[in-house]
Amino acid sequence: MKNGKKVLVLLGSPRREGNSAILAEMISKGAMLAEGKVETVFLHELNIAPCKSCYACQRPRSRGCSIDDDMQQIYKEMLLADVWVIATPVYWFNMSAQTKLWMDRCFALPAYEKKPFLNKKIAIAMSYGGDDPFDSGCVNALRTFQDAFSYVGAKIVGMVYGSAMDAGDIKADETLMAKAEKLGKHLVSDDG
């Protein structure tokens, strides 16, 4: 029996086949094995402007974000999805610029639907250079996601992260690959 849960994967790396994208691919594989529906968005190729702090999205009877760019379509996809997978490398001790642009623009999401974060399940996939998630900055990014999604009432149900420098290196960590696939299955299960 198909569960039909929709998973939206947001790739925040400038590399389509970078290490965070590989982790997201393994999460997607697990979700598809559990009969979830997966859609992937490569943020780097989209036109997403930074938030301009105009507050148009926060006004009564707002019709959404005032910036007419590719984020308009992403808002629709985010609202339709049951699960979001956010994949980002760590650049300069935090998430990538592509991911941060997307995240800042999520400020407008409540203008499209009341309490849009409330029932979303979220997974985080991250890669970082160095040997330690603390001195690499990975923990800074994870903490940013935890604080932001806790604030809006969304639930982070899992995280996978690991060290890898050159594109594709993360594949050598078989334990991490298996953990990512397992997370994907969990995301679309009824207990996830």
- Is 7 in contact with 37 (CB distance < 8 Å)? yes
What letter does residue 35 receive in the DSSP assignment? T
- Give the tokens for residue 103: 């995240």
Alpha helices, DSSP H, located in the chain: 19-33, 71-80, 97-105, 138-152, 174-188
Residue 4: the pLDDT is: 85
Cα–Cα distance for residue pair 70/60, rounded to 1 Å: 24
Confidence of residue 132 (pLDDT cuts 50, 70, 90): confident
Where are the chain's structural domains? 6-188
Least-confidence region, from 45-54, 88-97, 126-135, 152-161:
126-135
Cα–Cα distance measured from residue 171 to residue 161, given in angstroms and rounded to the nearest whole number: 12
User: What is the average pLDDT across 148-167?
Assistant: 94
CATH topology of domain 6-188: Rossmann fold (3.40.50)
Question: What digits encode the pLDDT tens for the residues 143-154?
Answer: 999 999 999 999
> Are residues 187 and 33 in contact, defined by beta-carbon separation less than 8 angstroms?
no
Confidence (pLDDT) at 2? 55
pLDDT at residue number 1: 38
Strand partners, 156: 122
If pLDDT is split at 50, 70 and 90, which confidence band does 119 have?
Answer: confident
pTM over 0.75: yes
Segment holding 163, helix H or strand E: strand 155-163
Mean pLDDT confidence for 82-102: 96
Per-residue confidence (pLDDT) for residue 75, from 0 to 100: 98
* The pLDDT of residue 6 is above 50: yes
What integer pLDDT is reported at residue 83 of this predicted model? Answer: 97
Instruction: Give the percent of the chain with pLDDT over 90.
Output: 90
Residue 122 reports pLDDT greater than 80: yes
Spatial CB neighbours of 74, under 8 Å, sequence gap ≥ 6: 10, 41, 46, 48, 102
At 192 the pLDDT is 63
